[in-house]
Amino acid sequence: MSIVRRVLLSFSFLIASISYADVTNIYQTHCSGCHGKNLSGGSGSSLIDNEWKYGGRDEDIAQVIKYGAPDMGMPAWGKILTDEDVRSLVILIREETKAASLTQMQAELAPENGVIEASGHKYSLTTLAELNGVLWGMAFLPDGSILVTERSGSLWQISDKKKRKIIDVADVWQHGQGGLLDVYLHPDYLNNGWIYMSYSHSVEPKLFGRDKGITKIIRGKIRNGQWQDQQTIFELDDKFHTSAGVHFGSRLAIIDGYLFFSIGDRGDMALAQQLDKPNGKIFRVHDDGRVPKDNPFVDQKGALPEIWSYGHRNPQGMTVARDGKTLWITEHGPRGGDEINIVEKGKNYGWPVVTHGMNYNGTPMTAHTSKPGMVDPLHYWVPSIAVSDIDFYSGEAFPLWKNRLLVSGMASEELHLLDVKGNSIEEDRIILKNRGRIRDVAVGPKGVIYLLLNNRGSKTGKLVTMNPVK
């Protein structure tokens, strides 16, 4: 390492990321002369055709950048670029590869007479309801109607293309990505009637626009179209409230009488590693809010006793596997590094110490994608798809998709179908593209797939079904 580099690096401990250049600049300065301005090749090979002489895994590509193939005319960059820079170049190559394949993918998934063909099935889309706001979560009631949350604070019940408002949740704090978020039916709903909701909530008066808040969980019942019997299930002390408008987490699931829910890092990533902070955690409480005695950190001084796992960035997808026991989540990565994880008691999922992503401005975060004591993701996306909710497919409408995992993507406007073998992901295909930001996906009682789609600009949302076409 050169003296200059070493000075810069030690300096960067004081002023974060000062020594790092934007990856696009690095590429244009050092690589474009041989690999072309848009990575499509020149005297060096194309880096966006997904053909790899030296291997196609992230590690292989990083290796060849670092050590080069000098005899073949590819210089070694390990003395000029840091491991972090090299990691960012790998992410850039993945981004550009995906961008290059987009036109073809869009053509393959374009509807013909309203019918889309993907992964062995044909389907059409039907809009059940349109609302004037961002739609976030949904749940199926036994009478065939569907509950949908609108982020601005309303819970809607939708049936036969009719919609009625059940409640405006009074203390919803609409702020950035916050608002009324998930809705979830107790598995024993038929007997107990409990409906759970998560939302961002503030108790402080607005002070120069800098009001503060964090995720809260309630449950209640709907009788004759009215919201009743509301109880607070989880609420945090004011000292954990922040003015940040990002990363509220908020997905809900119940397994064996335990309620699991997520809170994101609230934009303060280091706190995801601290057990005395709620940021970047999955929580577990009894379905009435009591703290279970066998939670992993109940006896640890200073730790929040509701914490089940930590080191998460912003988990906004959650579902229970076919065994009825295993909790699957998704979490948003930064630029690159969206993840799928199986959540286990007391485990550390690594954020922000390890990640497959980089900063949004193209500067690196870390060269580390894995470390001992931290759980590797089951699956990750580089580039990020802005991964949101997930559901395992069950039902007869799409038999070839049975037991596969449906994954919604927002910025990418994609629905993915993942082939799951045991606890590993064998294949990842895209089955819907460019119909709107997909915030939630759920398999309905008859095996029809329901989506919540939001438009990028207009802030309107739709409840849409994917129906099989023979």
Interface positions with ligand HEC (CB under 6 A): 30-31, 33-35, 43-45, 47, 52-54, 61, 64-65, 69, 72-75, 77, 89
Catalytic residue of the set 35, 186, 241, 247: 247
Segment (H or E) for 129: strand 121-131
Question: With helix as H, strand as E and coil as C, how does 102-116 read?
Answer: HHHHHHHCCCECCEE
For residues 227 and 65, give the distance between their C-alpha atoms in angstroms, rounded to a whole number. 59
- Helix count (H) and strand count (E) of the chain? 6, 25
Residue 34 or residue 291: which is nearer to ligand HEC going by CB?
A: 34
123 within 8 A of 65, measured Cβ to Cβ: no
Residue 75, preceding peptide bond in cis (omega within 30° of 0): no
201 catalytic per annotation = no
- Provide the CA 240 distance to its chain's centre, in angstroms: 23
Q: Cβ-count burial of 389 within 10 angstroms (0-12 exposed, 13-18 middle, 19+ buried)?
A: buried
Residue 35 or residue 347: which is nearer to ligand HEC going by CB?
A: 35
β partners of residue 320: 327
Residue 33 or residue 225: which is nearer to ligand HEC going by CB?
A: 33
For residues 317 and 296, give the distance between their C-alpha atoms in angstroms, rounded to a whole number. 22
Residue 323: CB atoms within 10 A of its CB come to 7
Residue 34 or residue 411: which is nearer to ligand HEC going by CB?
A: 34
For residues 12 and 19, give the distance between their C-alpha atoms in angstroms, rounded to a whole number. 6
What letter represents residue 8's amino acid? L
Write out the catalytic residue numbers.
Answer: 247
